[in-house]
Amino acid sequence: MVVVMVEVVGDGRWWLTMVTVAEELLHKISGAKSRLVSDHKKVDAIIEDVLNEHIENKVAGKKGNVEFRDEDLVDVFLRDIFLSGIETSSIVVIWAFAKMMKNPHVMAKAQSEVRQVFTGKKIYDEEDVETLTYLKLAVKEALRLHLPVPFIGPNECRDKTNITVYTIPFKTRVLVNAWPLARDPESWNDPQRSIPERFEDSFVDFIGNHFQLILFGAGRRIRPGILFGLANVTHSLAQLLLF
């Protein structure tokens, strides 16, 4: 299947590139596709067990009132919970901590903030995490430089669309390359450097209002678990920095 990818590069022009047979050949040569298929089957088996357990409980009259009319739909939801909800957060934690290790002054500042807020407390909650202003800036900068998912989509065009000299046909599945947007020198000063302070007085957010940092999509297709995921990431990093 051919997929159109829409990418914005530094000079502001739009380019369309086609995923060709060469990519399929590369997967076969490297063995990546066969490993992916094998892992896919393992995940399928786990999810199938979960589905069967709930269906058996329902047939036996046990607690639960979920109707399994479309197993494929339930399968998709479970994948989204286990893969999108967990793996992406883990990636952000790893990159954010790696960036702090590479920039000791950032690490020291974030750690000082965490210890000031949490030291002496046996129990802390989301209100305490919300006060970690600098740590949240560090997370935001890590997200800008290392997007958990570089491509946003795929989304299907509801209408025929023209972008400069290019035409995107109706029902085309489009992937937006968010990686170059987050590193565009026309939008960011010194975009290759990790500088959490750049967001201190910045109006740019990542909830779909500013396309130079479109990490989770925009509009009706924006990821619904943004705030929950960010809270988990910030809390995990705070735990690492506290001790």
Is the model's pLDDT at 171 over the cut of 60? yes
The mean per-residue pLDDT over the stretch 148-173 comes to: 86
Pairing, β 173-177 against β 4-8:
parallel
The strand order across the sheet containing 4-8 reads: 14-18, 4-8, 173-177, 151-156
Do 160 and 193 touch, CB atoms closer than 8 A?
no
Paired with 14 in beta bridges are 8
Paired with 17 in beta bridges are 5
Is 195 strand, coil or helix? coil
The mean per-residue pLDDT over the stretch 14-28 comes to: 53
Do 133 and 112 touch, CB atoms closer than 8 A?
no
Categorize the per-residue pLDDT at 81 as very low, low, confident or very high, splitting at 50, 70 and 90: low
Domains of the chain: 4-30+70-242 (1.10.630.10)
Question: What's the pLDDT at 203?
Answer: 81
Give the pLDDT confidence of 33-78 residue by residue, as tens digits: 788 778 778 877 877 777 777 777 777 765 555 554 555 556 656 6
Between 19 and 122, the higher pLDDT residue: 122
Output b/e per residue, 123-140; b: 16+ Cβ within 10 A: eeeeeebeebebbbbbbb
